[in-house]
Structure 1
Amino acid sequence: MKKGVLLVNLGSPDSTKPKDVKKYLDEFLMDPRVIDLPKWARVLLVKGIILNTRPKKSAEAYAKIWWEEGSPLIVISERLKEKVQEKLNIPVALAMRYGSMSLEKGLQELVDQGVTEVKTIPLYPQFAMATTETIDVKVDELVAQFFPQLKITRTPAFYHREDYIEVLSRSIQEKLKGLDYEHILFSYHGVPERHIRKSDITNGNCKMNGKCCFKMGSEQHEFCYRHQCEITTVNVAKKLGLKRGTYSTTFQSRLGFDPWLKPYTDRTIERMGKNGIKKMAIVTPAFVSDCLETLEEIAMEGEEIFHEVGGEEFTTIPCLNDRDDFVDVLISMVEEWRIINTDKAIA
């Protein structure tokens, strides 16, 4: 069997034109694992309200961060893919869950090179319904419909891998070296609280009180986004030797009126500024590639909020992007998979 690797990221509109943004948002928000409402309610909300109001505003936001080469997320992901390919002697393809760089195209690219066994690597350190799960489900659908000859190996969440924590910690340390900051905020993408409950394989053991997030060894943590975010912060803080009270975990990018994971990033930035914090640093470990949520929502809107309430220095730490040491983490994942498969074949 010929092996190949498919790196998968979120996706992006083809341009900053409202019509392209609308097309992208339609596909993204109509995913039942992103907005997990009954289809009639999702259609009413997305097509009846959001797509009639949000595309223009989102297009303006994308325009603020768009690069000459195109969408930052796409450009960075392509750079990352090229670096991974340089270090592997098997085919590597890149796909997006939403947008024109579809999963179908990515799988077809590998098939065209003779690949029969694919390791999918969602570029999300933590598992969530709206990220990793929707990729896995879509890949399964495509394989059943178009690629029955393919064998798929999934990649579990890698938030707790020692090499990932080492690289993430190093990236933070490099950015903050020589800076006198008072607090570092670990901001993760938010999800509705009900997503946590739906991902609870113990059927109700999760109490949503934050306490069970720090109890190690529970089987529910394999698919608990909140736990994985909290433990990412804990492991990085330990690696960096951060003192308790000088860092915290928050969640950004909520939508609608249902309760989402708290505390909220924007309100925390505002509160800390009002409480006298003058120098803040912020890192976004739920993203490996800088994108709209990091470049516009955090680096622009977040800094504006902080300055409005009296904050002075707001340092945004870049995502891992195409760092060479992050490339090495991905290479390790692939090599571990190849070794396991080789051992099975020998046995």
Structure 2
Amino acid sequence: KKLKSGVKLTKQPPFFDHPGYISALFESAKAYLEKEFDYLLFSYHGVPERHCKKTDPTGEHCFKVDNCCEVPSPAHLTCYRHQVFRSTEEFVKLANIPKEKYSVAFQSRLGMDAWLQPATAEEVLRLAENGVKKLLVMCPAFVSDCLETLEEIGIGVKQSFLDAGGEEFTMIPCMNDHPEWVAQLAEWCEVESPVEK
């Protein structure tokens, strides 16, 4: 459809490692991180591997090079998987979480395609089997809570973890309307569409 005259459409550039996003993510999770926990699982929305391959401008990097997300490449500018790892890296650096206390997994798989791994539902079982009792889970790919966070993670994955021997499962809410996140969004809007005074 054609936009009505005078309507300006802008697109926010990727913000996966933007300091304002990382800071807002940290501030929204800080109260949960201050409590005792064994492990933090970052559960990002999954996508089929073919999506990452399709966005690789070189056609020769994503899932073709060993440790492709760690080996520098122009593909990183458009690779969701690489960006997920960068978000996590920046967050744990700010939160001072040691490498042995966190991991990344992917949720919301559908269909028969190969999806990004590991799957969140399988990762929580592995963690429980390895003795993790108090698990924190956050879903940074979602800026607002929805069925995929509240039901899939907060109910379904939680029950799987508890059934597998875990004792405490805490889903850290998404940023939602956290003041620092709202301020960051407002700043981006002002840059893109300044309000005339």
Report if TM-score (shorter chain) is over 0.5: yes
Match of 1:325 in 2: 180
Matched, 1:167 2:167: no
Question: 2:9 is matched by which residue type in structure 1?
Answer: I
Match of 2:129 among 274, 286, 302: 274
- Larger RCO (CA within 8 A; separation ≥ 6): 2
Return the TM-score normalized by structure 2: 0.92
Match of 1:246 in 2: 101
Greater shift, 145-154 or 323-332, is seen at: 145-154
Match of 1:196 in 2: 52
Q: How does 1:129-208 map to 2 (within 5 A)?
A: 142=1, 145-147=2-4, 149-177=6-34, 179-207=35-63
Q: How does 1:302-341 map to 2 (within 5 A)?
A: 302-338=157-193
Cα separation, partners in 2 of 1:173 and 1:193, compared to 1, 3 Å = same
Per-residue deviation, residues 181-200 of structure 1 (Å, max 9, x unmatched) = 11100000100000001111
Match of 2:144 in 1: 289
Aligned partners of 2:161, 2:74: CA distance in 1, in Å? 39
Runs of 4+ aligned residues of structure 1 deviating over 6 Å after TM superposition are none
Return the TM-score normalized by structure 1: 0.53
Aligned partners of 1:322, 1:208: CA distance in 2, in Å? 40
**Structure 1 unaligned runs (5+)?**
1-141, 343-347
- State the shift of 1:335 in Å: 2.5
Query: Do the aligned residues in 2 keep the contact of 1:165 with 1:235 (CA within 8 Å)?
Result: yes
Question: 1:256 is matched by which residue type in structure 2?
Answer: G
Aligned partners of 2:140, 2:56: CA distance in 1, in Å? 22
Helix, strand or coil at the partner of 2:170: strand
Between the two proteins, what is the percent identity of the paired residues? 42
Aligned partners of 1:305, 1:210: CA distance in 2, in Å? 32
Helix, strand or coil at the partner of 2:175: coil
Query: Do the aligned residues in 2 keep the contact of 1:165 with 1:236 (CA within 8 Å)?
Result: yes
- State the shift of 1:336 in Å: 2.5
Aligned partners of 1:243, 1:172: CA distance in 2, in Å? 16
Aligned partners of 1:254, 1:205: CA distance in 2, in Å? 23
Cα separation, partners in 2 of 1:209 and 1:321, compared to 1, 3 Å = farther
- State the shift of 1:279 in Å: 0.9
Per-residue deviation, residues 204-226 of structure 1 (Å, max 9, x unmatched) = 2223567231345x332222110
Query: Do the aligned residues in 1 keep the contact of 2:27 with 2:180 (CA within 8 Å)?
Result: no
Question: 1:192 is matched by which residue type in structure 2?
Answer: P
- State the shift of 1:278 in Å: 0.7
Cα separation, partners in 2 of 1:154 and 1:220, compared to 1, 3 Å = same
Per-residue deviation, residues 28-55 of structure 1 (Å, max 9, x unmatched) = xxxxxxxxxxxxxxxxxxxxxxxxxxxx
Query: Do the aligned residues in 2 keep the contact of 1:214 with 1:231 (CA within 8 Å)?
Result: no
Greater share of residues in helix:
1
Q: Which has the larger radius of gyration?
A: 1
